Amino acid sequence: MTKIFETPLYPYARHPDQDAATPPRHKVVILGAGPVGLAAAIDLAQRGVPVVVLDENDRVSSGSRAICFAKRTLEILDRLGCGDVAVDKGVTWNKGRVFFDERDIFQFNLLPEEGHHRPAFINLQQYYLEQFLVERVQALAAEGKPIEIRGRNRVEAIGRHSDHVRLEIETPEGPYELQAEWLIACDGANSPTRRMMGLDFVGRVFEDNFLIADVVMKADFPTERWFWFDPPFNRGQSALLHRQPDNVWRIDLQLGWDIDRQAEKQPDRVIPRLKAMLGEDVEFELEWVSIYTFQCRRMAKFRHGRVIFAGDAAHQVSPFGARGANSGIQDTDNLCWKLALVLEGGASERLLDSYDWERVYGADENIMNSTRATEFITPKSEISRVFRNAVLDLAARHDFARPLVNSGRLSIPCIYDDGPLNTDDDADLPMRARSGAPLPDAPLGDDWLLGALGSGFTLLAIDTPCPETLRMAGLDVTVLRLCAQDNPDLAARYLGDHPSAIYLVRPDHHVAARWTRFDAAAVEGALQRSIAMPQGGQNV
Amino acid sequence: MSDLNLHRNLQDPDGFYANLMAVHDGLSKAESDALNARLILILANHIGEEAVLARALVEAADLSHQPG
């Protein structure tokens, strides 16, 4: 059977741009058709911004790669029109089990809170997510939205100018040139854009190798995340087993630093390792094997004039915690409404500097969490191994030690505390929905709060009077009037002990400001601030 | 309070653990052992209660669950 990752989904086709006398200029060009680049393209196209995606390949990536997609990503995918297809295909899981040496030391349940549309996590091979995103791009193009992917278009050189970027592109039929008013580089951890621009990418290298295998098997392991510290089948190292759709299981085996990477990838090495882990009698087929090393690092800044970096091109984390693809999609979610607003003249370029502040903040939080997990999983000194093993030993007997066990702190969205776009926060309202926080979902009858928000700014008015329509700072604000009586989830997440509240919500569903009652001047000031407009003034 | 608390009691377990690892950074094994000894004595003094400390010693000394 031909696998999805063996099929060209956007094969090379000659474009009239290649025969143009002078290089055509596009509004936005995105480099890289991975999950991050595709998410950015869909978001912009849905906002009416013309976008061209260039990728040197013509198909989705091979192997499972990023497999774990968090609730926040699923909520973003809902806005991109891919939420249902991802959740329907994905495997929803909540339970995990931790092993140490030969012992099953404890189990945990992520116990997802009720009253949210999306689960805490799904497992889904990256190639499926990319396939769904490509199909969404194609559906938007068929509807007449200004979006296209050009396969086997490799950028060879980048020229930066004050009002555009010039691209030299190589294709199977020779080179051509394009201009882009804005360039979004989503071209991965080894970003050619970053290299061509000679930009820094600093941080820590971890001296370790991990074997990843996608194994097809009919096994009766439960749908749980299993993590081993120092198991008999991989002495002194760690191991991870995770279920994916189609009876594909993902196995990560830590190998240590000093290994022959080519030899370790060969089936005659891999299969005995897997048999030792799974049992001699389990029948399986290897779908994909890779060896990875990782670094925790980021660029000093993500915006360089008209070139903006997102995803692994801008920041890299260790894989423990599923913070790579999830944070990359949050980058695009943060960027695209801002870029669309700048392009339509509703905000100045200053708004894009907040992308830099907010996503650098997010990257630092992800790097901190994934670095801590890495240090727990692979202790770097004798004393850190002593403590690590003491924690695991105590965790088998005592609940108190379990929060110290760190096999990855799974991705949750960051809260932009003290972010440049935040204003008034009424601290008497619930902490979790404070200014800078992503909006917690809540049921609304048979529907969900997040699905009821507008594509631009939304004002939530809960049990308090407010105008039916709102136009401020040059923007139409969607007004959503809600009643928290008979809706305990909404009341708990948005009101706390207060009888009423007003929330100003950004297009990316982060809270910009909140009050206990409506005040037009306060809302207008907060809206101006959240689009980086000088207070009380006009864009200049 | 004379019972040893074996329930979750740390506000930020990851932050504490990172700080604990950080004070050991760059130390030799002997220096780390000495640091740990000082740390235990400081915490024991803070706890103060003999019954609690006696119970903690028993829990920590329980060899039956430790890997060989």
Q: How far is CA B63 from the centre of its chain?
A: 16
Chain B positions in Cβ-Cβ contact with residue A407 (cut-off 8 Å): none
Predicted local distance difference test score (pLDDT) of residue B64: 59
Chain A positions in Cβ-Cβ contact with residue B20 (cut-off 8 Å): 387
Express each pLDDT in B14-67 by its tens digit: 999 999 999 999 999 999 999 999 999 999 999 999 999 999 999 999 865 555
Chain B positions in Cβ-Cβ contact with residue A399 (cut-off 8 Å): 6-8
Q: Do B7 and A393 lie within an 8 Å CB cutoff? A: no
Q: Where are the alpha helices (DSSP H) in A167-216?
A: 192-196
Mean model confidence pLDDT for chain A: 94
* Whole-angstrom distance, CA of residue A415 vs CA of residue A510: 8
Express each pLDDT in A449-496 by its tens digit: 999 999 999 999 999 999 999 999 999 999 999 999 999 999 999 999
Q: Do B7 and A404 lie within an 8 Å CB cutoff? A: no
Q: Is the pTM higher than 0.80?
A: yes
Report which of residues A447 and A202 the model is more confident about: A447
User: In the beta sheet, which residues pair with residue A250?
Assistant: A214, A242
Q: Do A400 and B29 lie within an 8 Å CB cutoff? A: no
Give ∠ CA A123-A101-A107 in degrees, rounded to 5: 45
C-alpha neighbours within 13 Å on the C-beta side of residue A141: 15
Chain A positions in Cβ-Cβ contact with residue B18 (cut-off 8 Å): 372, 375
Q: Measure in Å the smallest separation between the Cα of A305 and chain B Cα atoms.
A: 36
Q: Is A399 on the interface with B (CB under 8 A)?
A: yes
Q: Which residues contact A323 (CB under 8 A, 6 or more apart)?
A: A317, A366, A369, A370, A411
Express each pLDDT in A198-236 by its tens digit: 998 888 888 889 999 999 998 888 999 999 999 999 999
Question: Does ipTM come in above 0.90?
Answer: yes
Q: Where are the alpha helices (DSSP H) in A158-245?
A: 192-196
Chain A positions in Cβ-Cβ contact with residue B66 (cut-off 8 Å): 393
Q: Measure in Å the smallest separation between the Cα of A387 and chain B Cα atoms.
A: 9
Q: Is A499 on the interface with B (CB under 8 A)?
A: no
